[in-house]
Amino acid sequence: MKTAVIYSEHFLHHNTGEGHPESPERLRRIIGYIKSNPQFRRLEFFEPRPATINEIEYVHRGDYIQRVARICERGGGNLDPDTVLSRESFNSALLAVGAGLTASDLIMEGKVRNAFCAVRPPGHHAEADRGMGFCVFNNVAITARYLQKKYSIERILIIDWDVHHGNGTQQIFEEDDSVFYFSIHQYPHYPMTGRAEERGTGKGEGFTLNVPLSPGADDKVYLIVFRELLNRLVENFKPQFILISAGFDCHRGDPLGGMLVSEAGFYEITKIVVEWGKKFAEGRIISYLEGGYSKEYLPLSVGAHLLALMEEVFS
């Protein structure tokens, strides 16, 4: 079976304004690179369906959803100083969430093996009642709830390697023992959450693992964390589905991070996740684009990630 890419040109209509790092150009470059490179000819592209309001409410409060809709209806505005909405942003955000739901159905129906959701706006900073850090709705969290509700998936692993901690995803699942949230990120760094002692609360205690790293961590450090620390936890948790918040701003050339991960590093950590997927989750993996702001290196990093999902050789 093939690897799917879930993408819509409507994601380009989310207009964050001139000079904003989370721009439509990110996706233009990713899709242009994939479609022009014969290495990716086996990928299968799918259009997402928009998520319904009811599906967004799996995670987010109704008054917050209405606030986003109202701002967009008025022509746009800000959720916070960094998170900009335009007239079309609400529709783009519904499609961004819907990409994961579309991918879930394709995988569970046996039509594709795994999927990459090339979306914007991103999602992992969005909390139940607020968006922040360029994020509107928490795409990966809603996908997890959808898998639980529609397909009765009991154990879901979320892996977040964005250079910024996914405070929203952690908050949403911090009292939940059915979703294991793992984040490896730069610290101290925005949003100043994700300390090692944050491990979940109540019955969710022990189902959050944060690995905060100082600037300068490279491929070797990331691979040690995945192979030695995270591997033991995955073996114990035995996920039935794996979701990835794939932020490529830990690349050594990214302007918003201070890490030193290379394209080869992204390929290798993705390969590890693919092996976990085959061992525990029948190969079921959905990856969501989060951060990554280098116009030069973002397409190359996504390409390396896709080659690993496709189980192709990286060169």
Q: What is the pLDDT of residues 6-60, one digit of tens each?
A: 999 999 999 999 999 999 999 999 999 999 999 999 999 999 999 999 999 999 9
Any domain includes 92: yes
Predicted local confidence at residue 1, as pLDDT: 87
- Non-local (6+) Cβ contacts of 35 within 8 A are none
Q: What is the pLDDT of residues 222-277, one digit of tens each?
A: 999 999 999 999 999 999 999 999 999 999 999 999 999 999 999 999 999 999 99
Q: With beta carbons less than 8 A apart as the criterion, state whether 13 and 88 touch.
A: yes
Any domain includes 52: yes
Predicted local confidence at residue 32, as pLDDT: 99
User: Cα separations (Å) of 294 from 7, 77, 97, 142, 297?
Assistant: 20, 25, 24, 27, 5
Q: Is the pLDDT of residue 133 over 80?
A: yes
Any domain includes 21: yes
* Segments forming the whole domain that contains residue 160: 3-310
Q: With beta carbons less than 8 A apart as the criterion, state whether 171 and 128 touch.
A: yes
Catalytic residues: 125
Helix axes 24-36, 297-310, angle to 10 degrees: 50
Model pTM?
A: 0.98
Q: With beta carbons less than 8 A apart as the criterion, state whether 150 and 237 touch.
A: no
- Non-local (6+) Cβ contacts of 135 within 8 A are 83, 121, 122, 123, 124, 125, 126, 168
46: domain CATH number? 3.40.800.20
Number of domains in the chain: 1
Any domain includes 315: no
Task: For residue 115, list its beta bridge partners.
Answer: 4, 286
Tell me the C-alpha distance between 198 and 191, whole Å: 14
Q: Is the pLDDT of residue 315 over 90?
A: no
Q: What is the pLDDT of residues 45-80, one digit of tens each?
A: 999 999 999 999 999 999 999 999 999 999 999 999
Radius of gyration over every alpha carbon of the chain, rounded to an integer in angstroms? 18
Q: Is the pLDDT of residue 211 over 90?
A: yes
